[in-house]
Amino acid sequence: MVQSSDSLESADSIARLKQRDEHLFNRLVRMHEGNVYRLIWRMVGHQQEAEDLTQEVFVQVFRALPTFRGDSKLTTWIYRIAVNLTKNRGKYLSRRHHKGHDEFDAEKMNKAQKTAQGITMGENSRPDEMAIGRQAESIVLQCLQKLPDEYRQLLVLRDVEHLSYDEVTKITGLAQGTVKSRLHRARAELKASVNERLEGGER
Amino acid sequence: MNSDQAPPPSENSAEMQSNADQENFSESESIDQSTEELLQVLGRALAEPPEIKRSLLVPIQNRIHHTTRGRYFRDRFSRLKEPLPLILMASILVLMLAAAIFFVFQPIFEAEKAVERPPSPTDPFSGEIPSR
């Protein structure tokens, strides 16, 4: 993800952004809104919520720009704000026992969910393998949503966004060893959850 | 809140295991095949989020304008994505002004020229034959 945005990573651009240059900030938003929205959607699974949080991320970015020290890339810094905001929003919603926004969009989930039974991972030999693939995706998404927030975030950052461990540690603020072990547990938990779901479906 | 000072990670129970995680972690980077397949399915499932119908720039500018009590993004020009359209608009305005001035003053200039340069009796282009 952390795409090259060299024109905004230069010292001159950073200095102008820190002075809250509005035109440059507009460019920053245009360059990164898609990536930030995608990341947040992958973590919260709800379009409206993701759009709202993306807006909030850039408001926070604008507010915090003068204090950006440049220890990390600007994009990594923005991602970190996005992850922290998403985490805080998740906590807020869980305190309020809010479930409505913590699910992947219905159209995505319901594509083939109705007949999602009797599927095993990697089984693609049927003629309707496309439908089966969508069913499998739907099940995996549901299981992903049941994982603890920190596991879900790590899976998204590392296994979906394909960020390096170095970037993940900078974004999450966790030590690399912690990231690796948690990621290991997250994958194991996701796998167990999916298998449980599939076995339940086969019965 | 910046990253450099972004909100610190939460102190939940999972995070309190952090030190233990690092000490006990001995996972190799290899992932077994079924997990690999699972992650591929996950990647496909999350590959395409619903598209944003329009850019979030304007709502972001509005929020900043509101939260800063109108200090930033106070006018239309600061809300333009790039300053280029502003320069372009200014150039077009200057050109239009120049054209207007030209058309307004052109008859005056023409009249002045006519007064300054009466047709010469020997002017071959005047169309008159000088009388002897």
Q: Give the Å distances, CA to CA, from A180 to A40, A151, B27, B91.
A: 21, 11, 8, 57
d(CA A62, CA A76): 15
d(CA A183, CA B42): 14
Contact call for A37 and B61, based on CB within 8 A: no
Identical fold for domains A1-102 and A103-203, yes or no, is no
> Percent of chain A, pLDDT > 90?
58
Q: What is the CATH number of domain A103-203?
A: 1.10.10.10
Q: B-chain residues within 8 Å CB-CB of A59?
A: 60, 63-64, 67
More confident residue, A95 or A136: A136
The residues, ordered by sequence, that sit 6+ positions from B15 with a Cβ below 8 Å of its Cβ are A150, A174, B9
Q: What's residue A141's pLDDT?
A: 92
Q: B-chain residues within 8 Å CB-CB of A87?
A: 9-10
Give me B12's structure tokens: 């939940």
Q: Is B131 on the interface with A (CB under 8 A)?
A: no
Of the listed ranges A84-93, A143-152, A154-163, the one predicted with least confidence? A84-93
- Could you report the per-residue pLDDT of B57-78, keeping only the tens digit for each? 999 999 999 999 888 988 766 6
d(CA A66, CA A57): 15
pTM: 0.69
> Percent of chain A, pLDDT > 70?
79
pLDDT, average across residues B84-90: 75
Q: What's residue B13's pLDDT?
A: 43
What beta strand segments (E) does B41-90 contain? Answer: none
Domain ranges of chain A: 1-102, 103-203
Q: Is residue A116 pLDDT above 50, yes or no?
A: no
Contact call for B80 and A184, based on CB within 8 A: no
Q: What's residue B113's pLDDT?
A: 75
Q: What's residue B8's pLDDT?
A: 41
Would you tell me which residues 39-58 of chain A have a C-beta closer than 8 angstroms to some C-beta of chain B?
A: 41-42, 47, 50-51, 54-56, 58
Q: Is B119 on the interface with A (CB under 8 A)?
A: no
Compute how many other C-beta atoms are within 10 angstroms of the C-beta atom of residue A195: 15
Which band of pLDDT confidence, cut at 50, 70 and 90, is reported for residue B26?
A: very low
pLDDT, average across residues A56-77: 93
Find the closest chain B residue to A78 by CA distance.
Answer: B3
Number of residues that this document lists for chain A: 203
Contact call for B3 and A72, based on CB within 8 A: yes
d(CA A176, CA B79): 41
Q: What is the separation of C-alpha A137 from the centre of its chain, rounded to a whole number of angstroms?
A: 16
Which band of pLDDT confidence, cut at 50, 70 and 90, is reported for residue B10?
A: very low
Compute how many other C-beta atoms are within 10 angstroms of the C-beta atom of residue A129: 12
Would you tell me which residues 69-88 of chain B have a C-beta closer than 8 angstroms to some C-beta of chain A?
A: 72-73, 78-83
Q: What's residue A68's pLDDT?
A: 93
The residues, ordered by sequence, that sit 6+ positions from B84 with a Cβ below 8 Å of its Cβ are none
More confident residue, A191 or A116: A191
Would you tell me which residues 113-132 of chain A have a C-beta closer than 8 angstroms to some C-beta of chain B?
A: 121-122
Of the listed ranges A68-72, A90-94, B93-97, B108-112, the one predicted with least confidence? A90-94
- Could you report the per-residue pLDDT of A5-30, keeping only the tens digit for each? 556 888 889 999 999 999 899 999 99
Contact call for A80 and B46, based on CB within 8 A: no
The residues, ordered by sequence, that sit 6+ positions from A105 with a Cβ below 8 Å of its Cβ are A45, A46, A47, B50
ipTM: 0.77
Which band of pLDDT confidence, cut at 50, 70 and 90, is reported for residue B48?
A: confident
Name the average pLDDT for chain B.
73
The CATH class of the A1-102 domain is mainly alpha
Q: What's residue A61's pLDDT?
A: 96
Q: Is residue B79 pLDDT above 50, yes or no?
A: yes
Name the average pLDDT for chain A.
83
Q: Which of A137-146, B15-24, B47-56 has the highest mean pLDDT?
A: A137-146
Which band of pLDDT confidence, cut at 50, 70 and 90, is reported for residue A134?
A: confident
